[in-house]
Amino acid sequence: MPFITQNINAVAESLSKEEVAAIPTETVYGLAGNIYSEKAIQRIFRIKQRPLFNPLIVHLPNAEAMNDVAKEIPAMAKALASKFWPGPLTLLLPKKDTVPDLITAGKSTVAVRVPNHPLTLSLLQQLSFPLAAPSANPFGSISPTIAEHVANYFKDDFPFILDGGPCTSGIESTIIGFNEEGAIVYRYGSLAIEEIEKITGPVQEYIRNEETPDAPGMLLRHYAPSTTTILSSDIEKTLREQAGKKIGLMVFSHASKGEDIVIQEILSPSGSLEEAASHLYAAMHRLDQHQLDIIIAERFPDKGLGRSINDRLQRATHV
């Protein structure tokens, strides 16, 4: 099992030797390696069982480092970086030739962000290279939001998990790209689109391509428990339809009653979308440990971070 530690120096030394390590961010824990080390990046893909056609996000110590990996950066991208970095925003930009094609799955663009976590920012500032860091979980499964989630997934695959406590945002970053008409949302995430649109104006919806995704985290089946999961707009009706099964329930703010409910997770009793997002994956992990027949997840209001939560739930339930 990887060693859980808060020793930044030990993790930095390991990464400098082309090892990989799990690191905390404000969104989820990532499985990190030197973007310029083919050995490290190949190990990330192999450990995660992630397909090579799925690009990785490059994590930077500050906004200025964007110029080391990207070129022809749009003014709108610079404005977003100035406003939201460090933070849960990933920008899709034209890549410099020095960025390996392995990172970008052969695409001409690179996904970059500055994570808002003090330990990982300190780590990045110690290193002479950026880190690629997809979520630290086997491909397609529930993303990890505490160090123990990572440890439960992996045994002896890498030396260190840098323990930064629970992730505060709880779901992955929002991914924004650009064309001549303005900003495009590639993935809904921990930064609400409404906040982005205050700077960019209305964003365009990206048309998803399953065969050759243009950005990380784009596949339809993703973030999924091993337990069959249903997304419901009418919890009481779905409970009746699934009568007789061992049911786990995940709801926004109000509990439901039913004799078949084995365990119930209320993501935000106060009705806060931000709180619900921060608790989403941890609740999914707990439900998945109860040997249930089915998990029923309540559909959220389709606004703000509710849209991002619904995106994750839809992909968790996609067959």
CATH number at residue 278: 3.40.50.11030
Do 99 and 239 lie in one domain? The reply is no
What's the number of domains the chain is made of?
2
What CA–CA distance (Å, rounded) separates 100 from 235?
47
What H or E segment, with its residue span, contains residue 249? strand 247-251
Do 18 and 97 lie in one domain? The reply is yes
Q: Which residues contact 13 (CB under 8 A, 6 or more apart)?
A: none
Do 201 and 104 lie in one domain? The reply is yes
User: Residue 219: inside a domain, yes or no?
Assistant: no
Do 187 and 265 lie in one domain? The reply is no
Do 175 and 27 lie in one domain? The reply is yes
Do 173 and 29 lie in one domain? The reply is yes
CATH number at residue 176: 3.90.870.10
Do 68 and 196 lie in one domain? The reply is yes
Domain boundary among 173, 205, 237: 205
Domain boundary among 205, 237, 268: 205
Do 78 and 119 lie in one domain? The reply is yes
Do 136 and 16 lie in one domain? The reply is yes
User: Residue 69: inside a domain, yes or no?
Assistant: yes
User: Residue 215: inside a domain, yes or no?
Assistant: no
Do 185 and 299 lie in one domain? The reply is no
Residue among 121, 126, 105, 113 at smallest CA distance from 57:
113
User: Residue 142: inside a domain, yes or no?
Assistant: yes
What CA–CA distance (Å, rounded) separates 169 from 298?
20
User: Residue 73: inside a domain, yes or no?
Assistant: yes
Per residue of the chain (319 residues), give pLDDT as tens.
789 999 999 999 999 999 999 999 999 999 999 999 999 999 999 999 999 999 999 999 999 999 999 999 999 999 999 999 999 999 999 999 999 999 999 999 999 999 999 999 999 999 999 999 999 999 989 999 999 999 999 988 999 999 999 999 999 999 999 999 999 999 999 999 999 999 999 999 987 766 667 788 766 667 789 999 999 999 999 999 999 999 999 999 999 999 999 999 999 999 999 999 999 999 999 999 999 999 999 999 999 999 999 999 998 986 5
Structural domain including 288 reads 229-317
pLDDT at 215: 80
Do 190 and 233 lie in one domain? The reply is no
User: Residue 55: inside a domain, yes or no?
Assistant: yes
Peptide bond before residue 138 is cis, with ω within 30 degrees of 0: no
Domain boundary among 171, 205, 239: 205
Do 101 and 16 lie in one domain? The reply is yes
pLDDT at 207: 79
User: Residue 165: inside a domain, yes or no?
Assistant: yes
Task: Confirm if 308 and 188 have CB atoms less than 8 A apart.
Answer: yes
Q: Report the predicted TM-score, pTM, of the whole model to 2 decimal places.
A: 0.95
